Amino acid sequence: MVFTLFQVMIGGYNSVIFFFPLLFLGSFLPIYIGYVRGAIILDSILERVRGWLYLVNGVGFYVGSLIGVSRLEILSQVFGVIFGAILLFFIGLGIILIVIRFSLYLPKVLFKITNYNMDKETKQAIRYTAQAASILGALSYLLVNLTTVWGSSSIYFLISYIVIISLYGLVAFFWERKARHWSKS
């Protein structure tokens, strides 16, 4: 249903680019880490909380980017293109900081509800998971905004898309591996 709305609002190939980060960060990673690893494979409260962190960060960053994208045209008309883009950057940064703050508060609440003891290893695993989820959320924010500014058919977009996904993906993979290391300890 969401994808259909994107196709109507954005149209064609661009809607896939807008929908992919939500599908990956809002569905695939939380289900894999939280449900498959946390509930089925490892039966671990920590892995379930890590899945919730990916869900909150992924959806939060994505909603923030969509709010920013929908306001870009209005801000550009009112303040001009350059000042509007700068203002949009700070609006997005504010949303990102709120999401990061909430994602750092969420594990404490979930562990308190489940009476899970947060030891040093758990705190490290949560910290690295929050960093990986934030990096991937920032990636979705950048990709949605790049699509809006340059369009998906531009060569600048294609080059930026490949470079950004590669760099952010490697950093997120590094943090996720560290989180898994600490969650096994």
Q: Does residue 37 have a pLDDT over 90?
A: yes
Q: In angstroms, what CA-CA distances link 15 with 8, 68, 128?
A: 8, 16, 31
User: How far separated are the first and last CA of the chain, in Å rounded?
Assistant: 41
Select from 49, 37, 68 the least CA-distant residue to 133: 49
Cβ contacts of residue 150 below 8 Å, gap of 6+?
Answer: 156, 157, 160
- How far apart are alpha carbons 182 and 121 in whole angstroms? 5
Mean pLDDT over 65-94 rounds to 70
Assign 47 a pLDDT band (cuts: 50, 70, 90).
Answer: very high
**Residue range 109-141, pLDDT digits in tens:** 999 999 998 899 999 999 899 888 888 888 877
What token pair was written down for 166? 């590669």
Please name the amino acid found at residue 24. F
Please name the amino acid found at residue 94. G
What pTM value is reported for the model?
A: 0.81
What token pair was written down for 117? 């003891």
Q: Does residue 7 have a pLDDT over 60?
A: no
Quick one: CA torsion of 26, 65, 155, 85, rounded to 10 degrees?
-170
Domain boundaries, the chain: 15-184
Helix, strand, coil percent values for the chain (each to nearest 5) = 90, 0, 10
What token pair was written down for 83? 């000042």
What token pair was written down for 172? 């997120």
Assign 8 a pLDDT band (cuts: 50, 70, 90).
Answer: low
Report the phi/psi class of residue 119: left, alpha or beta, with left for phi > 0 and alpha for psi in -120 to 50.
Answer: beta
